[in-house]
Amino acid sequence: MNAKKDAKQTFTLTDNRSGQKYELPVVSGSMGPDVIDVRRLYNDTNCFTYDPGFTSTGSCGSKITYIDGDNGVLLYRGYPVDQLADNSDFPEVCYLLLYGELPTPDQKKKFEHDITYHTMLNEQLTYFFRGFRRDAHPMAVMCGVVGALSAFYHDSTDISDPKHRMIASYRLIAKMPTIAAMAYKFSMGQPFQYPLNDLTFAENFLHMMFGTPCEEYKVSPVLSKAIDRILILHADHEQNASTSTVRLAGSSGANPFACISAGIASLWGPAHGGANEAVLNMLEEIGDAKNIPEYVDRAKKKDDPFRLMGFGHRVYKNFDPRAKVMEKICHEVLNDLKIEDEPLLDIAVELERIALEDDYFIEKKLYPNVDFYSGIIFKALGIPTSLFTVLFAVARTVGWVAQWNEMIEDPSQKIGRPRQLYIGETARKFKPLHKRI
Ligand code: CMC
């Protein structure tokens, strides 16, 4: 961990049971809250820390992404995400996340070329899709096919070799859109579309999704620009559930394809990346603006599991900067596509208004998050609901691989192995079956 460790900065912990005091080092990063280094705590005190959900735990040092949740700040390698979404493009952001700096024109050209020339899948892999049911959820297909990449690309699974790690990273970034589009084509019963090397990353994705061999598919610049910006907004997000899953899986030395497959599984949940799909399902269920108060009331009830999907965030307690850009993109896309009457957007806007004025949401600091608007954009772009989270996975792959590489290069890296507070039975004697009546 490359951070400032000032010998004078310590945190004193008093064990009120014994009166014993312990000095714990305090470590400062380049920005954000200090951390108390508790690595010696168990050795010194015979106590663990207890933090279910890791609400107060920093699991690693990282130079990739910075979030200030109180002020709605999100930086990739120091650059604000809204500036990147407005001025950069997704391949450039991939380079930035992987290498730490924006590329020079030559570096950008080479990177784009290298990613483009890894977009094709081993043909044998295409048979995997045929093993799934046509109505399989595309995220289920993604978990399976991405995990299976390790059975094909043996020349990039030696994680101790930086070259192998980078080839695996490029392969994952490049092949994810191909796999995602194939999962869609399979569900539609349409032939797979192979990548085209003269298209950009976003254009290629749209071509593989919506093109058919029957006619030329002209990629709309509006759509490809919107996809590119959405990919940027989702590219990384610090130590969230799926990224922590990738790091934890990777900490045992597992190969990168298996680790990213684990990340996809974690992303799928509705509290995480699955929320974009859940938002659209919720808006459809609400059906009419007049029903909003009923759903807002349900979201506030303790005994009702319903939550307003697309609202709230573990870290953002003011606003989610991604949601701000997403809202802008949403209006641009609907304007560009001349969609004037989008009932779901009307419900979304009204829902946002009502929730933001509601004491419950104000008190708990629950604001629209990135997933609130992304579903409406995806719908307007003609992307089927079940593919929303897949798109999130396509974008987040670069964040996952950047974080995975950083973890492997970190000299303080160890296998991740949390401890627990045991609350089960104390030791007891085995009872033979005939006595258990
Ligand atoms: N609707 C109603 N109440 C909520 C909501 C919501 N969307 N989110 C949080 N709360 C309440 C929650 O019931 C709790 O109340 P209390 O203090 O009375 O127990 C309080 O707010 C704090 O919530 P929490 O669940 O302890 O907070 P968390 O940090 O563990 O969870 C979250 C964060 C994002 C999982 C949660 O806000 C949520 O489930 N939101 C809906 C799903 C969603 O939109 N997820 C996408 C997150 S952004 C994209 C991504 O990271 O993938």
d(CA 173, CA 398): 6
Residues linked to residue 28 through DSSP beta bridges, in sequence order: 4
Residue 178 near residue 124, CB atoms below 8 Å: no
Q: How many helices (H) and strands (E) does the chain have?
A: 18, 6
Q: Is 114 exposed, middle or buried (0-12, 13-18, 19+ CB in 10 A)?
A: middle
Give nearest CA residue, ligand 1 atom 49: 272
**150 CB under 6 A from ligand 1?**
no
pLDDT in tens, 301-343: 999 999 999 999 999 998 899 998 998 888 888 888 887 767 8
pLDDT digits (tens, 9 = 90+) for 75-129: 999 999 999 999 999 999 999 999 999 999 999 999 999 999 999 999 999 999 9
Residue 310 near ligand 1, beta carbon < 6 Å: yes
% helix / strand / coil in the chain, to the nearest 5?
A: 55, 10, 40
Any catalytic annotation for residue 313?
Answer: yes
Q: Which of 82, 228, 313, 320 is catalytic?
A: 313
Q: Answer whether 298 contacts ligand 1 (Cβ < 6 A).
A: no
Q: Could you tell me the two tokens for 176?
A: 């994810």
Q: In sequence order, what are the beta bridge partners of 200?
A: none
Give the angle 290-292-296 at the CA atoms, nearest 5°: 150
The pTM assigned to this predicted structure is 0.93
Query: Is the pLDDT score of 36 beyond 90?
Result: yes
Nearest to 265 by CA among 168, 176, 390, 404: 390
The residue contributing the CA closest to ligand 1 atom 41 is: 309
Q: Which atom of ligand 1 is nearest to the CA of 320?
A: 48
Does ligand 1 come within 6 angstroms of the Cβ of 234? Answer: no
Concerning whether 371 is annotated as a catalytic residue, the answer is yes
Distance of CA 305 from the midpoint of ligand 1 (Å):
11
Is the CB–ligand 1 distance for residue 236 below 6 Å? no
